[in-house]
Amino acid sequence: MYHIAFFTDYRPLLVEKLNSFLKNNLSDVWICEGQQESRLQSLDDLPTSRGYWYSQPWYIHGSRLNKCDTQNFPSIPVYTNPQYKTSFEKIDAALNWLSTYYSWSIFPWAGPKRFLSFGFLSRERSLHDQFINASFTPLNVGEKFNNAYPYNTLVSSYEVTTNFSQLIKAILFNGYYKTAWRLWDICKCDVTPPWLITDLLFDDDIFSVFSWEEAKYEFIQSLTLTIKPERPLGVYQPLDRKSFESMCRLSTQEPDTFIYVPQDTNLEKLKTLLIKTENNHSYSDLVYLQEILGVTKWFYGLDRDRVDYGNSIFVAQNNTKLQQFNGINEDDDYCLLASF
């Protein structure tokens, strides 16, 4: 059993929490980068991301719990290039390895850029709680990001008794619009079609312009977000599978917002959430993960990296949906990047 927590990768936060957690004592803190291990001399020596991701996996750790082969460190699943992909099995194996050999460890997680985060792992609940509660200066969102909403730097936290992948509530992946087609069966959309929330303006020509099969859909209502500039969004319901697939293709037009949610989502609560996530200065969907889980049973956001890497996020209250989504064997360019 181990305890794990994920945080947004805001370097001043990591440094302050580490200083508080370690009480400025690095006497038994080690850094593993590549196949090399050395004592960490200063927090200034922690690797930094190069724009959008880290150049290679790394982690730091405290005292050893068991002897391990120093030439056979596990490869921490972290985004290091656009061709990167991982699996639930690799993620579980790496985390189980860290929990077996170290009293605690910290490592980068996910990516690129908007999804960069770091994890803290320990078998001891007291160390897990100590790190979460370690004092730090709150992220001054108003000054740094011109956003009136405070950011929650803690993304998620779990007590893992078997495998981490059986507890997760969100997956980050690559695959563009075809990957979204998996939703139709996973979420039983033939019975209850989902709602699409987007800033694209639908009209009779929007599909014919691109020679795509015309979609049958119903306009549900509009949602105007009270942010600057104002963001008018439309809520649309595809009426069948082919229409759903055609509507997914519209994400190639690079809309700012292209999100699917189930029909029973409370739109007023969703609007309050979207005011935060769709703000031009929003840092990352990860910041609002717990709020997303509180508003809707599932949330599927296409191309949420906003730099055209095609990184999408699927959040679900029910872990089974994530397992089913990840387990589909389709030639749709799906690549798992991380889980939370």
Same-domain pairing of 53 and 20: yes
140 in the same domain as 248: no
pLDDT tier for residue 137 given thresholds of 50, 70 and 90 = low
Q: According to the model, what pLDDT value does residue 25 have?
A: 81
The verdict on 123 and 204 lying in the same domain is no
For residue 154, give the 3-state DSSP assignment: strand
Domain boundary pick from 167, 194, 223: 167
Q: Tell me which residue range forms the domain holding 131.
A: 2-167
Q: What is the pTM of this model?
A: 0.92
Question: Which residue in the block uniquely carries the two structure tokens 């405290």?
Answer: 62
* DSSP annotation string for 261-304: E-TTS-HHHHHHHHHHHTSTT---GGGGHHHHHHH-SEEEESST
Q: Are residues 33 and 134 in the same domain?
A: yes
Residue 150 has pLDDT above 60, yes or no: no
Q: pLDDT, tens digit, for every residue of 218-250?
A: 999 999 888 767 778 999 999 999 999 999 998
Instruction: Decide if 334 contacts 191 (C-beta within 8 A).
Output: no
Q: Are residues 68 and 216 in the same domain?
A: no
**Residue 138 confidence class, pLDDT cut points 50, 70, 90:** low
Regarding whether 278 and 181 lie in a shared domain, the answer is yes
